[in-house]
């Protein structure tokens, strides 16, 4: 595979397993930052529609070659319409400006100084493309601050809880499931 494309790793597998448990046959699914297309490809047989995005031309091409309906854009900037399930394995590693390597793979990894730069932007804006009863599956790491991400969801009117977790070398990976807090309205 193209070395500018994030290959399926432990985080991919954890999120994929959670997504396969979550997906329903009638779902319209959006995967953001699909990378190699591993998750979107695997969900295609289980959902009504699966669409994926990636900002990287290398990733978009890799996913496309696996038969994924992929759109090259920033998060979901060029996407409209309501999705029942949104799946995102975001760049979550805290990265200082000195650590930056400035290539396409960096978009898959670099979460800004606290690891949450992209995640917080995602949480602020995702309501635009999420169906009223839509569900979000977001992978986060203990390096990112799991409680802080849950607080960010809460501030934007979502309830979230962990539906999967795995301890790997030096960090704990968690899949958060978030839905709109309909009681809070």
The SS3 of residue 105 is coil
Out of 4, 46, 73, 154, the only residue in the binding site for other proteins (CB under 8 A) is 73
* Helical pair 117-125 and 146-155, crossing angle rounded to 10 deg: 30
Out of 1, 77, 168, 182, the only residue in the binding site for other proteins (CB under 8 A) is 77
Q: Is 61 in the site for other proteins (CB under 8 A)?
A: yes
Q: How far is the CB of 9 from other proteins (least distance, A)?
A: 24
**Cα(97)–Cα(42) distance, integer angstroms:** 35
Of 75 and 105, nearer to other proteins (C-beta) is 75
Name the residue among 123, 121, 127 with its Cα closest to residue 107.
Answer: 121
**Cα(124)–Cα(89) distance, integer angstroms:** 16
| # residues contacting other proteins (CB under 8 A) | 18
Of 57-65, 100-108, 140-148, 163-171, the window that binds other proteins (rule: CB under 8 A) is 57-65
Q: Tell me how crowded residue 77 is: count the other CB atoms within 10 A of its CB.
A: 11
**Cα(118)–Cα(90) distance, integer angstroms:** 7
Out of 17, 55, 117, 162, the only residue in the binding site for other proteins (CB under 8 A) is 55
**Cα(8)–Cα(145) distance, integer angstroms:** 22
Q: Is 117 in the site for other proteins (CB under 8 A)?
A: no
Of 35-54, binders to other proteins (CB under 8 A) are 51
Of 18 and 70, nearer to other proteins (C-beta) is 70
**Cα(11)–Cα(35) distance, integer angstroms:** 12
Q: Is 132 in the site for other proteins (CB under 8 A)?
A: no
Q: Which residues of the chain form contacts with other proteins (CB under 8 A)?
A: 51, 55, 57, 60-61, 64, 69-74, 77-81, 128
């Amino acid at each position: 595979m193209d070395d500018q494309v994030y290959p399926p790793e432990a985080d991919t597998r954890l999120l994929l397993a959670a997504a396969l448990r979550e997906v329903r046959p009638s779902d319209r699914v959006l995967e953001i930052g699909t990378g190699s297309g591993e998750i979107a490809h695997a969900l295609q047989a289980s959902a009504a529609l699966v669409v994926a995005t990636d900002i990287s031309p290398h990733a978009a091409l890799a996913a496309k070659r696996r038969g994924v309906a992929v759109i090259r854009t920033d998060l979901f900037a060029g996407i409209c319409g309501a999705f029942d399930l949104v799946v995102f394995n975001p760049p979550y590693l805290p990265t200082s400006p000195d650590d930056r390597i400035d290539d396409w793979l960096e978009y898959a990894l670099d979460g800004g100084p606290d690891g949450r730069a992209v995640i917080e932007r995602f949480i602020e804006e995702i309501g635009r493309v999420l169906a009223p009863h839509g569900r979000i599956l977001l992978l986060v790491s203990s390096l990112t601050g799991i409680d802080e991400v849950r607080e960010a969801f809460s501030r934007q009117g979502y309830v979230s809880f962990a539906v999967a977790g795995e301890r790997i070398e030096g960090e704990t990976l968690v899949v958060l499931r978030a839905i709109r807090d309909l009681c809070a309205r």
